[in-house]
Amino acid sequence: MYDLAIIGGGVAGMTAAIYAARAGMNTVIIEQGGFGGQVALTAKIENYPSYKEVEGFQLAADMKAQVDSFGVESRMAQVKALSKDGDIFTVATDSGEIQARTVIIANGVRKQELGIKGEEEFRGRGVSWCAVCDGNFFRKKRTAVIGSGNSAIGDAVYLANLCEDVYVVFRRDKPTAAKHNLEQLDGVENVHLIPRSIPVEIKGDRKVTALTIKKLDTDEVSDIEVSGVFEAMGQMIPDNELFCGLVELDKRGYIVTDEEMRTSTPGLYAAGDTRQKNLRQIITACADGALAATSAHSYLRTVKQQ
C-alpha cells in the first residue's frame, strides 16, 4: 500500500515524486516508456530557468537521478485501468495491481498523426516522431519534416547536421515558429522550406523512399525523394479515456482540475500536459507536479485526522 501512486514519468510526474518523497510519502511512479516524456525527446531547451541551454535528455536524466536519490520506487508498466473502492485506489497495470491512498495522473499527451497512406505501414521504418531519437539513422540521407512550429524547426536544424538535405513541409505561407528559432536557420543551406503544401502519402518498399506532397494553390502533386519522414506538427492529443469515470474531461479530452490540481474525485489529482490549461511548458508541468503532491499530502493528513 502506497501513500501516492503517480501515473506518468514525465517532468510533472517526477517533480511530484520529489515533493512527495520530501514530505515523507511512500511513493511509486509508473511509466510505460521512458522517463522524461516529451522533454527527453527534445534536442535543446533554452527556456528552463538556471540553464542557458540544456539537452532535453540530460535534463530528464538529472530529474530521474534526483527522484531515485529520494528512494522513490519506479515501475515500468502500462496502466490499464484506475478504480477507487472506499478510500483506496487501485491502478491496474500489465504487470499487476498497485494500491494507493492517493493518485496523481501525469500521463502527458500523445503526438498527433497525419493519418495518410503509408504512415502506419512505415512506422519505425522511416516514419518517426522523434528527430533526436532516430536522426542518426539518416546520416547523409534526405529527410522531410512535417510542420512549421518550434518543434518542426528545431527538428530541421538538428537533422541538418546529420542529413544531406532536409525538406520542411507546411501548409501556411511561412513558418509559425518563434523568431529566435527561425534565426537558427540562417546560414543552414541544406534546409529547404516548402510552404503552402501538405503531405498526402508516404511511399516505399521495405523502407520509406518518398513523400508525396500537394501544393495547396495549384493542387499539383509531386514526390520528394526522402529516406525519412519526421512528424512534428506540434499538436498534442490527451489520452484520458481510462480515467473518464473518475475525472471530468473538457471537450478536447483534457482533465479538469482546480488550482490545487484536484479532480472531481477526492484524493485524485492531475498534473502537466494532461490537464486543462493555457500554457504547456516544462516549467508549468513542474509547478503542477509540485502542487499536486502538496495537495495529496494535505489530503492524507486531513483523512488521518478524521
The set of catalytic residues is: 130, 133-134
Give DSSP secondary structure letters for the chain.
Answer: -EEEEEE--BHHHHHHHHHHHHTT--EEEEESS-TBGGGGG-S-B--STT-SSB-HHHHHHHHHHHHHHTT-EEEE--EEEEEEETTEEEEEETTEEEEEEEEEE---EEE-----BTTTTTBTTTEES-HHHHGGGGTTSEEEEE--SHHHHHHHHHHHTTSSEEEEE-SSSS--S-HHHHGGGTT-TTEEEE-SEEEEEEEESSSEEEEEEEETTT--EEEEE-SEEEE----EEE--GGGTTTS-B-TTSPBP--TT-B-SSTTEEE-GGGB--S---HHHHHHHHHHHHHHHHHHHHHHHH-
